[in-house]
């Protein structure tokens, strides 16, 4: 099986690469790539493995995309994107990568893979719902993005669905929540505080939280989202024909509840390390969220982290 990962050098991409190689080495799991093509503009450490082929370049470069697809691929994880804050600040860049890059990839798959009909798993976002949100988000909630990032991802979902309908690919989209704990570096993620609070408090460092303790959010670890991405890649074709866009089960918790869980995991009271200074815009966008229910996704095998303690422990694993 030949697998392409766009955005392979990113926070989620690196963990996905590691998980796929582990599965291939152990002989476990349904996806055991014989060739793993990693596409990104920059990489840190690339695994030393004969199956790994890094391709350094932009998703918006037709030659780079063509080189990534040379000889065809069986499966694509499309993770590459300009995240929410960065896409809002630089409209042209967000449009070029998030929308035009997705379209270019789909067209290249249509033209280069032919009868292979590769499976494509598209990383979309809960940002498609915008603000203000209704009292409940479920699988019948209509998207209404209020940021360019959400609008671009929603258009990507529509394209994935249409290319699947036409028989060019077998496609599905996952609407990802905030994923923790991202490295403490400029990422363009407006939700970065969700990672920073776990990392800082677990290290015994004081933290100024830009949302209130009562602010409720949707939480998922990197390990959990990687498992859900891999699960999406193994869904039966008839399931994808019935439903191509999936909400993911999340942990629904306040910042204060997560702070308490951090203390339980590290066996130290960390509540005194936090000072809450709510920013109205961030509170509205990321910490005033309603409950999220997705029974169809749960029935299809998608899963949350299970508990806040699991979330915190998993968030602290890996680079």
Candidates 149, 163, 252, 276; catalytic one = 149
Give buried/exposed letters for 217-241 (b at 16+ CB in 10 A, else e). bbbbbbbbbbbbbbbbbebeeebbe
CA distance 237 to 192: 35
Token representation of residue 22: 């582990």
Contact in structure between 143 and 130 (CB atoms under 8 Å): yes
- 121 beta partners: 77, 172
| Residue-by-residue DSSP string for 107-172 | HHHHHHHGGG--EEEEEEEGGGG-SS--S-B-TTPPP---SHHHHHHHHHHHHHHHHHHTTS-EEE
Token representation of residue 301: 């095998």
Tell me which residue of 219, 209, 316 sits closest to 262, measured CA to CA. Answer: 316
Known catalytic residue at 149: yes
How many degrees, rounded to 5, is the angle at CA 242 between CA 230 and CA 115?
70
Give buried/exposed letters for 87-110 (b at 16+ CB in 10 A, else e). bbeeeeebbbbbbebbebbbebbe
| Cis before 181? omega within 30 | yes
CA distance 114 to 74: 11
User: For tokens 């000889």, what's the residue?
Assistant: 71
298: number of CA atoms within 13 Å, CB side?
11
Q: Which residues are catalytic?
A: 149
């Amino acid at each position: 099986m030949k697998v392409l990962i766009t955005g392979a050098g990113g926070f989620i991409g690196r963990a996905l690469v590691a998980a796929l190689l582990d599965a291939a080495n152990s002989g476990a799991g349904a996806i055991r790539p014989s060739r793993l093509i990693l596409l990104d503009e920059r990489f840190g450490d690339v695994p030393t493995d004969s199956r790994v082929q890094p391709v350094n370049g932009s998703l918006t470069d037709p030659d780079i995309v063509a080189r990534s697809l040379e000889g065809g691929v069986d499966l694509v994880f499309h993770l590459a994107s300009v995240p929410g804050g960065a896409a809002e600040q630089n409209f042209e860049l967000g449009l070029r990568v998030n929308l035009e890059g997705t379209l270019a990839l789909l067209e290249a798959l249509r033209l280069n893979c032919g009868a292979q009909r590769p499976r494509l798993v598209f990383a979309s976002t809960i940002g498609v719902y915008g603000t203000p949100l209704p009292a409940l988000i479920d699988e019948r909630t209509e998207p209404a993005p209020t940021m360019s990032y959400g609008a671009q991802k929603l258009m990507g979902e529509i394209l994935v669905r249409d290319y699947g309908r036409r028989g060019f690919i077998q496609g599905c989209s996952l609407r990802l929540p905030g994923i923790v704990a991202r490295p403490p570096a400029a990422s363009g993620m407006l939700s970065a505080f969700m990672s920073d609070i776990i990392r800082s408090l677990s290290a015994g460092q004081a933290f100024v939280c830009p949302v209130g303790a009562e602010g409720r959010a949707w939480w998922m670890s990197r390990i959990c989202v990687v498992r859900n991405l891999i699960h999406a890649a193994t869904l039966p074709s008839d399931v994808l024909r019935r439903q191509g866009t999936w909400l993911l089960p999340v942990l629904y918790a306040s910042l204060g509840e997560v702070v308490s869980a951090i203390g339980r995991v590290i066996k130290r009271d960390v509540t005194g390390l936090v000072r809450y200074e709510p920013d109205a815009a961030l509170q509205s966008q990321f910490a005033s969220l309603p409950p999220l229910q997705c029974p169809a996704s749960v029935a299809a095998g998608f899963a949350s982290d299970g508990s806040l303690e699991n979330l915190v422990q998993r968030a602290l694993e890996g680079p």
